[in-house]
Amino acid sequence: MALIVQKYGGTSVGSVERIKNVARRIAKWQNAGHQVVVVVSAMSGETNRLIGLAKEIQKNPDPRELDVVASTGEQVTIGLLSMALKAIGKKAKSYTGPQVRVLTDSAYTKARIREIDAHRIRNDLEEGNAVIVAGFQGCDEDGNITTLGRGGSDTSAVALAAALKADECLIFTDVDGIYTTDPRVVSDARRMDVVAFEEILEMASLGSKVLQIRSVEFAGKYKVPTRVLSSLTDPDIPVEQEANSGTLITFEEDPKMEKVVVSGIAFSRDEAKITLPHVPDIPGIAYKILGSIAEANIEVDMIVQNAAKNGLTDFSFTVNRNELDKAIAVIEKEVSPYLEEGGILSDASIAKISCVGIGMRSHAGVAAKMFKILAEENINIKMISTSEIRTSIIVDEKYMELAVRALHKAFGLDKAPSSME
Ligand code: ADP
Ligand code: ASP
Ligand code: MG
């Protein structure tokens, strides 16, 4: 008997029919002798709808009240799923995040989990229940409802699996695993049987939305065996078959791991660039600019400073697109005396594309190959940054899909990998 945490995303519980199918799938795992804890998202589109309602009332909704509203989608799903299980003769119990006591910090709309009290869930499991928990939510020490950021149910599931020391965390979703890139954009993207933890960590942080980044961080920290698989298959397929399907995140070299240099391509449209074309080339200027941005709690991604000319230099950096206005306001307020006549330039129609692979550690030339491919497509590169296992570039948003497809093909990701020399 194993203890399994299963997470079902929005599409997987998007209708009553699908919720009934999820119940059948859970019952199948229980009938095979396993204990099952289930984490669910809101029905697809529901969280957007709720946030939309809040914005109709306040342009920038009060964060505490926004969490009160946004967290309700998941509460509907846990109730419906528990009923669906009871309707087929199974014992089930539903809990919201605060009821379990998923304790978080108080950072509304992007709270971090601090602790999970698992004893109640354990008791319910011992009594033969499937335990159904609302993802995406918790409460702070004062009992205020918090949410974990968009896509946060993944994190709820992996964190619960860690707290319960579950044997495996299964992330059921609307694709049958983790692909070399988003299959919605590149039709010949390929599913991987296994993916290295570091690779999926990079891909998630670089904008691939298949898993929320914090869920991957939890999986790494607590070594939670985590698998991404489809919820849209026949719910009655044998448990053994399902248990081996999808993509497993591995923490060590795995013989099944593909021996390739680039394993995947991530991309993100959530970027915006700020350029200060004329700032004085003096000690402390980067600190003046980026220090004030950091103080405003705005995350900066890429940074480029060019060689100085006549005592002036230009300075560019990227921020999340929805924080662009806030970042410009901070610069105007804090850095204005240093801007000379150049002022502030900004560009909100850029995208970031990243090639990721642990094979890049031992193989040079990936960046050069990327630049060649983009040159052949006549796509201009605006910024570049690299780490040990990735190379990221910024391009005009309108070229993003073209660039991703060209890179995916040129790195041979559409074909089953041969062995690396
Ligand atoms: P859920 O509601 O189940 O959490 P999401 O929409 O959050 O589902 O995540 C699944 C989606 O992630 C897929 O439909 C797919 O379009 C997208 N995606 C992006 N990058 C990848 C990738 N590399 N592999 C698989 N899916 C990806
Ligand atoms: N319902 C939340 C969202 O749409 C959380 C999730 O689905 O993971 O972001
Ligand atoms: Mg998701």
* pLDDT tens, position by position, 87-112: 999 999 999 999 999 999 999 999 99
Atom from ligand 1 closest to the CA of residue 171: 3
Q: Do domains 3-250 and 259-421 have the same CATH topology?
A: no
| Residue type for position 91 | K
Ligand 2 pocket: which residues have CB below 6 Å?
9-10, 41-42, 47, 73, 135-136, 150-154
Q: How far is the CA of 231 from the centre of ligand 1 (A)?
A: 12
Q: Is the CB of 12 under 6 A from ligand 1?
A: yes
Q: Do 239 and 254 contact (CB within 8 A), yes or no?
A: no
The pLDDT score that the predictor gives to residue 407 is 97
Q: Which of 6, 50, 148, 153 to mutate to test the pocket of ligand 2 (most atoms within 8 A of CB)?
A: 153
150, 155, 174: residue to mutate for ligand 1 pocket, most atoms within 8 A of CB: 174
Span 259-421: which CATH code? Answer: 3.30.2130.10
Question: Does pLDDT of 320 surpass 90?
Answer: yes
Task: Give the pLDDT of residue 308.
Answer: 81
Among candidates 416, 356, 355, 25, which has minimal Cα distance to 193? 416
Whether residue 226 is predicted with pLDDT greater than 90 in this model: the reply is yes
Q: What is the pLDDT of residue 322?
A: 87
Q: Can you give the pLDDT at residue 311?
A: 86
0.85 cut: is pTM over it? yes
Task: Check whether 217 has a pLDDT greater than 70.
Answer: yes
CA separation, residue 412 to residues 5, 64, 147, 405 (Å): 35, 47, 40, 11
Alpha carbon nearest to ligand 2 atom 9, residue = 150
Which helix (H) or strand (E) segment holds residue 244: the answer is none
Task: Return the domain boundaries, the chain.
Answer: 3-250, 259-421
pLDDT band at 392 (very low <50, low <70, confident <90, very high): very high
| Ion ligand 3 neighbours, Cβ < 5 Å | 9, 151
Q: What is the pLDDT of residue 254?
A: 67
Of residues 104 and 286, the one with the higher pLDDT is 104
For residue 199, how far is its CA from the centre of ligand 1 (angstroms)?
16
pLDDT of 421 = 34
Q: How far is the CA of 198 from the centre of ligand 1 (A)?
A: 18
pLDDT at 36 over 50: yes
Distance CA 403, CA 140 (A): 43
Q: Which helix (H) or strand (E) holds 201?
A: helix 197-205
Query: What's the CATH code, domain 3-250?
Result: 3.40.1160.10
pLDDT per residue as tens digits for the range 350-365: 999 999 998 888 888 8
The three-class DSSP label of residue 395 is strand
Check residues 61 and 310 and name the one with the higher pLDDT: 61
- Top mutation candidate among 210, 214, 215, 263 for ligand 1, by most atoms within 8 Å of CB: 210
Q: 11 CA distance to ligand 3 centroid (A)?
A: 9
Cα of 177 to ligand 3 centre, how many Å? 13
